[in-house]
C-alpha cells in the first residue's frame, strides 16, 4: 500500500503492522470467548480505514464488492 501511495501521510508500514497484528489477535481471543459479541471484520476494517487515503479506501471497497469470476 505504501509503494502505491495509499497510506496516509506519516503512516509507516512497519509501524502500522504491529498494531494490526495485535488487533487481530485480540479480536480473535474475544471472538473465541463470545462469538456473538465480536465482529472481527468490522474491527479490522475500522483500523485499516484510518490508515488509508480516502481514494485508496474507496477503490479497495469497490474491488471487494465487484463480482468475482474464475
Q: Decide if 2 is inside a domain.
A: yes
User: Residue 30 belongs to what domain range?
Assistant: 1-53
> Is the residue at 7 inside a domain?
yes
pLDDT tens for each residue of 10-20? 888 888 899 99
pTM: 0.73
Task: Judge whether 64 lies within some domain.
Answer: no
- Tell whether 60 is covered by a domain: no
Q: How many domains does the chain have?
A: 1
Within 8 A by CB and 6+ apart from 44, the residues are 20, 23, 24, 27
Rounded to the nearest 10 degrees, how much is the dihedral formed by the CA atoms of 38, 41, 42, 47?
110
The grid cell for 5 is 501511495
Give me the pLDDT at residue 70, please.
65
Asked if the structure places residue 62 within a domain, the reply is: no
Mean pLDDT of the chain: 87
Cα 42 to chain centroid distance, Å, stands at 9
Amino acid at each position: 500500500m505504501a509503494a502505491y501511495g495509499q497510506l496516509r501521510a506519516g503512516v509507516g508500514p512497519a509501524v502500522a503492522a504491529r498494531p494490526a497484528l495485535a488487533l487481530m489477535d485480540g479480536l480473535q481471543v474475544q471472538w473465541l470467548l463470545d462469538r456473538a459479541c465480536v465482529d472481527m471484520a468490522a474491527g479490522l476494517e475500522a483500523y485499516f480505514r484510518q490508515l488509508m487515503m480516502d481514494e485508496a479506501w474507496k477503490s479497495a471497497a469497490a474491488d471487494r464488492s465487484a463480482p468475482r469470476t474464475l
